[in-house]
Every structure is written in structure tokens, then in C-alpha cells.
Amino acid sequence: MVPLKSSKQATSNVTGEFKVGQRYQVATPEQTSNTQPSTSIELPDAPIETLNDTQLPVRELPSNIEESAAQLQWQAVKVRSGDSLAKIFKRNGLNATTTHKVITAQGEGSKSLKKLGVDDIIRIGKDEQGSLVSLEYPLSKNETLYVNLQNQQYHAYKESKSVEVREAIAHGVIKSNFWHAAASAGLNDGQIISLANVFGWDIDFALDIRAGDSFNVIYENQYIEGDFIGTGNIVAAEFINQGESFHAIRFTDGEYYSADGRSMRKAFLRAPVSFKYISSNFKPKRFHPVQKRWKAHRGTDYAAKTGTPVVAAGNGRVTDATYNKYNGNYVFIQHGNGIVTKYLHFSKRAVKKGQRVKQGQVIGYVGSTGLAAGPHLHYEFLLNGVHRNPRTVKLPDAKPLNQKYKQAFEVISKQRLAELTGSRRILLSMQPSAE
């Protein structure tokens, strides 16, 4: 399956290594100021794994420690499974009294030392007598706890570094598979799933992606002192599916809206199964058995492994959750506006008759019970008792953004659309054939 192969992508992104692919910095108004990365480096180049209780060279100290402290012997200690500060101190020649004094240090944050994270690195600075003078513990990627000895007493304080956000753009043209195209465009697993989720009400990523479909994504990269620490939000995206363009723009409320300010969220998901579980994302144009079969048996089949979670396409109430020899384990959901959805051949049902379900809630798992040749979900969508193709049926327009935010959104929307269009033009001229 596709996602497993590229699962390394996410971790390698966190280390700051940029993957080969179409990933470009986009200049935006927010970064016109000089944001040159700082050159100071916190730890030596050796991989973190080798830093087990080893001596590290003396480094610069926070300015509020007396000058003599610069002569400290520093150790970087990696927290092991089952470790406590007491155990770590003991291993490094510090006694229980010191542990107590450090944990109860004046100031803020020393209590964080009662619960250490495995693989965290604690830096310990001792004087010539081997007494603890200074300790540093990272609380998060941008926050560090310092405990320093001042006038025979330990004082604790937290210091946070600001996270700088820079925007980047990824562009891809799909040749054989959306996941592959997105990964080679430089997006990590989480971003690929987010991208599909943003458009999941408009596009069935499991069955309706075709060769030649393309996407353009503006997203955030986060940096601390010039070091890449991870990706942030997708801020705008464009997806061209079978010639039709869809745009999504993130607003300040964290939601995505189309360019004209309508929520991307709609009453029904286009597919009740995540595309990441579907073995083949699409068939070549000339061969389209799904469409043909839909006409024959009025449903859509999603071939997926037994146990794959199936979600409710929309909010509603379960009218049937039972078994018969044709449908196997099945679930029917009654939604508003005369719409009923049906889900057949489950290996296991996850809801009961009469239960209210929310869109995206797991209602069962793919199987091959009843009249099914192999494991798949048979999905039906009925409007006033008539079968409709769930992937093409016209649904009521989504809710527009509240009128009072309209003007603010229009400003953002206009800018993002220009960025998407501009970047697509540049990228297409640079990358005549991308996966």
C-alpha cells in the first residue's frame, strides 16, 4: 500500500532535510523583513543517539549566570525509558538532595522535571567540585527550562524562542497516483491527508482522480533560529480534477473556504472511505469498470482490505444495522432532505440501529460478507428513494462565510488566488513533466 512506503517522508522533513521535489519558497508580504537565519548551533553535529551521557564542549551560557559559570563541565544526558531526574542525577554523580532542590527550585517550570520525556536531552553543567550549577531541559521545540544555582539556591525559568513561519509551495501533476505525486512534490504524509481532507467534500480521492489532475499547495514551514522544525498549516490550495478547478483558502478561523467564501465543508463527503486505503487510486481512462458497474448495480464499489474503516458520509440516524445473506453486515443511514446512504458487506458493524452518527464517524469495517466476491465496500446514495451517483450528485450549496467577515476574507482570497496562479505559471514553465 502506498502510504507505508512514503511514511519516512514525514520524519525526514522534521530533521530539516529538504526532499528532492518541487518545493519552493514563496515571497509573501510578511517576510519582506530580513529574516536571515542565525548561525549559532546548539549541539555538535554528531547524531543525537551518540550523546548518551557523554561530555560535550563548553558552550555559551544564558547571560544571567555569573561569569565563572562559563568554566562549567557540561554533559548531555539522554532520558531513557523509566528514567526520573533522581536516576539520571545518580548516574551522573549527583545526590538526592540536589534532585529535591532542583525540582523545588524557585521560579517557574521546575515541576516539569518530575515527568521527563524519553529521548529528551538534559544538559547538566557542573563546577570543578562536581556540584550542579546549571541545568537545561527542552520543554518543546521552542521552549527550554533553565535551572541555575544563584546564591546557593536553584532558580528556574522558561525561555521560548519565536517560531518563524515561512511559506512554501508544492506543485504536482498526477501521473499514476495522487499519493506518489504529492510525496514527490515534497509534501509529507500528514500534509497529503490534510490536502485530501480539504477537498474531500468535492472530490472522491479514492475513485475520481485521473492522470493529468494537478494540484498547487501553499503551506507553512516553521523555523526556530533558522532551523526547520516542521510544517504548519496548508494556507491555500488548488486542485484540478478532470478539468474542473477547486480552490480552498484558509481563513483566520482555521476553516477552509472556496474563493467566493463558501465553506469547503458540505453535508456529504464524496467518499466514505479514505483514499489512502484504496489500492489503486484510479484506472486509465479507456478502462472504467466502476462507472459501468454503477449503472448495473446502482452503487459504488470501493475495493479495500478487510478491516478498512468506513465512515458516515454525512450526519444522520442509523435506520438499519444488521445482517442478511445478500448484503452481509450492512448499515443504512437516514439523513436530512430525503437522503439515505447504504453501506454493504462489512466485516464488522460499528453502530447500532437508532443511533445518531456524525459525518466522518466510523460506522463499520470493509469485509466480504453476503454476496461479495472479495473485500469491498458497496456504497449507495438515494435521494427521495432514487439511486444517485454519490460522486456526481448535485448537493445544496455549502454555507457561506458570515457576512461580517466577508470583506476580510476577500482580501485574503484575492491574494492567495494570485499566489496560486502565479506559482503555477512559474512552476509549470520550470517543470515540464512532473510526477
Instruction: Give the residues lining the site for Zn ion (CB under 5 A).
Output: 299, 301, 378
Minimum CB separation of residue 328 from Zn ion in Å reads 11
Which amino acid does the sequence have at 238?
E
Distance CA 100, CA 147 (A): 13
Name the minimum Å distance from CB 283 to Zn ion: 16
The distance of closest approach from Cβ of residue 297 to Zn ion in the complex, given in angstroms and rounded to an integer, is 5
Within 13 Å and on the Cβ side, how many CA atoms surround 160?
9
Q: 270 or 378, CB closer to Zn ion?
A: 378
296 or 386, CB closer to Zn ion? 296
Report the nearest approach of Zn ion to the CB of residue 77 (Å): 59
CA separation (Å) from 52 to 15, 43, 156, 260? 20, 13, 24, 55
- Tell me whether residue 180 or residue 378 sits nearer to Zn ion (CB atom): 378
Size of the chain, expressed as the number of residues it contains: 435
CB nearer Zn ion, residue 111 or residue 297: 297
Q: Outline where DSSP puts E strands in 185-312.
A: 214-224, 227-241, 244-250, 256-257, 300-303, 309-311
CB of 345 to Zn ion, least distance (A): 8
Between CA 291 and CA 84 the distance in angstroms is 60
Task: Render the burial of 170-196: b for 16+ CB within 10 Å, e for the rest.
Answer: bbbbbeebbbbbbbbbbbbbebbbbbb
Nearer to Zn ion, 169 or 377 (CB): 377
Q: Which is nearer to Zn ion, 199 or 294 (CB)?
A: 294
Q: Which residue is nearest to Zn ion (CB)?
A: 378
Find where cell 512506503 sits: 5
Nearer to Zn ion, 238 or 301 (CB): 301
Reading the block at residue 89, the C-alpha cell is 542525577
Report the nearest approach of Zn ion to the CB of residue 390 (Å).
13
Buried b (16+ CB within 10 A) or exposed e, 204-240: bbbbbbeeebbbbbbbbbbbbbebbbbbbbbbbbbbb
Residue 268 CB, nearest approach to Zn ion (Å): 19
Q: CA 78, CA 63: separation in Å to the nearest integer?
A: 25
